[in-house]
Structure 1
Amino acid sequence: MAAPAVNPENVKIQIGGKDDLPAVFCKNTKTKIGVVVLQEWWGLNQQIQDEAAEISRDGNFSTIVPDLYRGKLATDNEEANHLMSELDWPGAIQDITACAKYLLENGCTKVGVTGFCMGGALSMASAGLIPEVTAAAPFYGICGDSLCDPSKITKPLQCHFGAKDAVVGFSDPESQEKLKKKLNEGKVRHEFYSYEAGHAFTNKTGPNYNEEACKKALGRMYDFFRKELS
Structure 2
Amino acid sequence: MTMEQLTIAAAEGRCPAWIYTPESGEGPWPGVILLMDGPGIRPAVHDMAGRLAKEGFVVLLPDLFYRSGAYDPIDPKVVFTNKDLREAHREKYMAKVTPAAFKSDFPAFYAALQARADVRKGPIGVTGYCMGGRLAMIAAGSFPDVVSAVASFHGGGLANDTPSSPHRNAPMIRASVFVAGAIEDANFDDAQKARLEQALSDAGVEHRVETWPAKHGWVPTDMPVHDPVQSERHWTELPAFFHAKLG
TM alignment of 1:26-41, pairs within 5 A: 26-28=20-22, 30=25, 31=27, 32-41=29-38
Residue 83 of structure 2: aligned partner: none
Amino acid at match of 1:88: T
How much does 1:207 deviate? 1.9
Q: Is the 8 A contact 2:154 2:216 kept in 1?
A: yes
TM alignment of 1:129-208, pairs within 5 A: 129-130=142-143, 131-141=145-155, 142-143=157-158, 145-146=163-164, 148=166, 149-152=168-171, 153-165=173-185, 168=186, 170-208=187-225
| Separation in structure 2 between the aligned mates of residue 65 and residue 96 of structure 1, nearest angstrom | 12
| Separation in structure 2 between the aligned mates of residue 207 and residue 55 of structure 1, nearest angstrom | 22
Q: Is the 8 A contact 2:99 2:138 kept in 1?
A: no
Residue 6 of structure 2: aligned partner: 11
Q: Does 1:128 align with 2:147?
A: no
Aligned residues, how many?
220
* 1:65 aligned counterpart, secondary structure: strand
Question: Which 5+ residue runs of structure 1 have no aligned equivalent?
Answer: 1-5
* 1:187 aligned counterpart, secondary structure: coil
Between the two proteins, what is the percent identity of the paired residues? 23
Amino acid at match of 1:85: A
| Separation in structure 2 between the aligned mates of residue 97 and residue 202 of structure 1, nearest angstrom | 27
Residue 100 of structure 2: aligned partner: 90
TM alignment of 1:208-223, pairs within 5 A: 208-223=225-240
Q: Is the 8 A contact 2:141 2:170 kept in 1?
A: no
Amino acid at match of 1:174: A
| Separation in structure 1 between the aligned mates of residue 110 and residue 35 of structure 2, nearest angstrom | 12
Q: Is the 8 A contact 1:155 1:189 kept in 2?
A: yes
How large is the RMSD of aligned CA atoms in angstroms? 2.0
Q: What TM-score results when the alignment is normalised by the length of structure 2?
A: 0.81
